[in-house]
Amino acid sequence: MQRFENKVAFVTGAAHGIGRATVLRLAAEGASVGAADIDAEGTASVVDEVTGAGGSALAVACDITDTASVDAAVAATVERFGRLDVLANVAGHNLALEGTEPAEAQWGRQYDFTFTGATRCIQASLPHLIESRGSVVLVGSISGQVALGTAPYAAAKAALANLVRNLASDHRPRGVRFNVVAPATVATDRFIGKEALLEELKAIYPLGRVGKAEDVAAAIAFLASDDASWITGITLPVEGGLTAGPGHLLNLL
């Protein structure tokens, strides 16, 4: 299926995990992809994989905490491919407390990275997306809906859900859609060496497993595609049934 033939996507966090899987999924469906990350080696690797399979991709350096960096990365993608149809902002993780860093600074770093970083990407992409009547998909977290992460991370992710609701309303005449995917536990690089933990976590999911990066990439591709042309302003949980409740665990008692 070539849902993104003749379309161009810009994907942040492209070097690893969900971002990498998203680049590969969109490219496999026909998109030309600007693969953006601060990890130049990892980004070059995913671009090589795309082009080796006959697809089209460009590696662009991008730090989502730096407005000039984001602007330049989006501009480079548009210059190379001539347009922009999809923004998939995947970059983001739970920032660890650094030594004796004050709590206020921790909250500020997490919010800047997770929430303001997303707004930087949107602002840089929006003029092009208005022209193409394109789509924005942000990666939130199920931690933004239930208590599963640290408070700064969870609060910043929760803010993305309200952001897309407002942007969806604000930009309704322009035809740009805004949505969030909210994953739960996904077996990415950050769990290397923690395979025993992943095995334990399977029990809390009704579907009996943790997520794969490809699961989330598939949801991003759906929301970015014309298959979701009448969907905007929503947060789509991609969480193996976690928020359905603990009934499957109670049955084990």
Q: Is 87 inside a domain boundary?
A: yes
Query: Could you list the active site residues?
Result: 153
CB-hemisphere CA count at 13 Å for 175? 12
- How far is it, in rounded angstroms, from Cα 7 to Cα 10? 10
Task: Judge whether residue 247 has pLDDT over 70.
Answer: no
> Do the domain assignments include residue 1?
no
197 falls in which pLDDT band (50, 70, 90)?
A: confident
pLDDT tens-digit map of 71-124: 999 999 999 999 999 999 999 877 665 556 667 888 888 899 999 999 999 999
> Which residue range is the domain that position 108 belongs to?
8-239
Residue 3 included in any domain = no
- Is the pTM above the cut of 0.75? yes
Give the separation between CA 190 and CA 199, rounded to whole angstroms. Answer: 15
Tens digit of each residue's pLDDT (9 = 90 or more) over 38-67: 999 999 999 999 999 999 999 999 999 999
Beta bridge partners of 136: 87, 178
Q: How many domains does the chain divide into?
A: 1
Residue 76 belongs to a domain: yes
> Could you tell me the CA-to-CA distances from 149 to 34, 36, 62, 195 in Å, in that order?
30, 26, 26, 19
DSSP for residue 5? T
Q: What 3-state class would DSSP assign to 217?
A: helix
CATH of the domain at 90: 3.40.50.720
Task: Determine the pLDDT at residue 100.
Answer: 62
Answer whether residue 62 is part of any domain: yes
